[in-house]
Structure 1
Amino acid sequence: MAGMRVVRALMLGAGSVGGLSGAAYGLLNGQSRRARMIIGKSTGLPRNADGVYLPDGSGPVPAEPHDALGFAVLGDSLAAGLGADTEDQLPGVHLARGLAEEAGRPVRLTTHAIVGSRTSDLDEQVDVALIDPPDLALIIIGGNDVTTRMRVGTSAALLGKQVRRLMRAGTTVVVGTCPDLDAVTPIPQPLRTIASRWCLALARAQRRELDRLGAHSVSLAALVSPEFRQRPDELFSADRFHPNGAGYELAASVLLAPLCDAAGLTHSWGLLTA
């Protein structure tokens, strides 16, 4: 998600919901401009460290073990790891290493996530993933649906369609539901509250759809966003919108136990699904 586009879209969306007065619209417009100046524009592509990770923590390695667990990451910039300074800080790398340790077998990480993706873009990522269906997939998606004002019901239905495609191919799917933009402090009030309400409504709709399918969900808004709200200087990258390495490590620590549980692996954590 690009920070400048986010606040602009939220401001326009706020104006279309409830019929804002001229003064209120002017307030949100001014807040939008200030937030864009603070956040700036995201540049460059996220790092990539796809490959095979071994139970001893090493990797990626060039060899392709026959017993490797296929693990795919799909979604938007949060899934791709935009904001991480090194490959070791990528969420997919954290999770691949954790899965390899818990499984006692190699894990092959493949990242299909693309910066800026909405749920409507997932079909192309799933098309590629299904060329060689992974054993386990993590999807993080939804923030860009909020900032581009996609209807909550439409977004949840699109997610369900792509999750079904993966499940039919034998892939176990875990979804990190829409995070809460209330943690992004450069978006001022009341604009941030509007964004937060949309995020939470979408996360609830995503979970309902996933529950209906029998897929696994993890509430990033409940389990990760509060930490970002309390420790923004420690967990956000320089753009103050995407996580930094510490932020991705925190998110991975929340996601690892549900991934292990979904994959039928033994682990030492309690379930953190929500």
Structure 2
Amino acid sequence: MTSPARTTAKAAVRTAGVSVGTYVVLIAQALLARRRIGTTTDRPPSGNGLYGHDLDGDPLRCLLLGDSTMVGYGMKSVDNTPSALVGIGLSHILGVPVQIHNESFVGARSSDLQGQIDAAVDLKPQLAIILVGANDITHQVPAKRSARRLGAAVRRLRAMGSEVIVGSVPDFGTIKPLPVPLRTVCRYWSRHLARRQTVAAVEAGARVVSLSDVLEPLLLLKADALFGDDRFHPSAHGYATVANFLVDAAVTQWRSSVVRPHEEAPLEQMTLEEAAEWAVDHGGTQVAPAPRGRRWAAVLRWRR
């Protein structure tokens, strides 16, 4: 992610039809938010490598793609990065070694996914996990275009023989440095993109896990503990929370498609549009392709 301050009043006017007065307010709030959040050139330690090396079997090759949230922006210890969290989680639950290769980078948008895949072609990933979209919002990339690029990346990965997990863009309304009405506009934009991402990714063959508000219930108890010093990127606890949802979705997908592909999972089915709408309102929901056809989805609801 980069600063949400780049979500300018122009984007707000296009998406929410705000007045000229609100336009001016949004510009001022965006500049203030940029100052509050700031940036850093510090890079977290690389978490690439083999996890569960003492386990039997061939390593599961897992590719991580996306932006700073997948990089682990702000973390000082490798153990707190998504690479390590996903690698440890997958190897522990699946009982096999996991080779993690992370091609994500700070500031990445959906348009960068193809280049990240190019850089990992030799890996021949069996599993890919994607977190992207926040920078599409801050750079005012139309949601339809952003989702289309995500879908293209998923289709390419599927053609390479990889199972794909996508974490939809989080709800920007939970970001405290964004004042109202800027926060309201960003919430609308992020939820709109999350719907588009869900439809495009599932149509392309991915399992999508909604990250819309997965941190929000915990904020009532943990306050700022789930956000880092900039109050925009996750803290170590926040990264662990997000990683848990991604690992759970990855394990579910791997077991249902690779380990036990012929077993019918007792999942609820609804139209893809209905599933995308539900997922936006209920973080942790998993949406996957359904046997009934292209416009249907299998839904696994998360019980809080």
TM-score by length of 1: 0.88
Whole-Å Cα distance in 1 between the matches of residues 135 and 197 of structure 2? 14
Of residues 42, 47, 50 in structure 1, which corresponds to 2:48? 50
Structure 2 counterpart of 1:260: 251
Whole-Å Cα distance in 2 between the matches of residues 250 and 19 of structure 1? 35
Whole-Å Cα distance in 2 between the matches of residues 7 and 156 of structure 1? 22
Whether the aligned pair in 2 keeps the contact of 1:55 and 1:97 (CA below 8 Å) is no
Query: Relative to 1, partners in 2 of residues 1:196 and 1:273: Cα closer, same or farther, differing over 3 Å?
Result: same
Matches within 5 A, 1:46-195: 46-54=44-52, 67-195=58-186
The alpha carbon displacement at 1:52 in A equals: 0.4
Whole-Å Cα distance in 2 between the matches of residues 235 and 272 of structure 1? 20
Query: Relative to 1, partners in 2 of residues 1:15 and 1:130: Cα closer, same or farther, differing over 3 Å?
Result: same
Highest relative contact order (Cα 8 Å, sep 6+), 1 or 2? 1
> 1:14 and 2:5 equivalent?
no
Whole-Å Cα distance in 2 between the matches of residues 25 and 183 of structure 1? 21
- Note the alpha carbon deviations across 1:85-139, whole angstroms, 9 max, x for none: 3100011211111111122111111101111000011110011122221111100
Sequence identity (%): 35
RMSD: 2.3
Unaligned runs of 5+ in 2: 260-266, 268-283, 288-304
The alpha carbon displacement at 1:233 in A equals: 1.2
Whole-Å Cα distance in 1 between the matches of residues 239 and 229 of structure 2? 14
The alpha carbon displacement at 1:226 in A equals: 4.6
Query: Relative to 1, partners in 2 of residues 1:19 and 1:216: Cα closer, same or farther, differing over 3 Å?
Result: closer
- Work out the number of aligned pairs and report it: 262
SS of corresponding position for 1:72: strand
Structure 2 counterpart of 1:273: 286
Unaligned runs of 5+ in 1: 58-64
Query: Relative to 1, partners in 2 of residues 1:155 and 1:229: Cα closer, same or farther, differing over 3 Å?
Result: farther
SS of corresponding position for 2:41: coil
Whole-Å Cα distance in 1 between the matches of residues 226 and 214 of structure 2? 14
Amino acid at match of 1:2: T
Query: Relative to 1, partners in 2 of residues 1:224 and 1:167: Cα closer, same or farther, differing over 3 Å?
Result: farther
The alpha carbon displacement at 1:183 in A equals: 1.0
The alpha carbon displacement at 1:225 in A equals: 4.8
Whether the aligned pair in 2 keeps the contact of 1:2 and 1:42 (CA below 8 Å) is no
Amino acid at match of 1:68: P
- Note the alpha carbon deviations across 1:153-183, whole angstroms, 9 max, x for none: 1111111111111111101100001111111
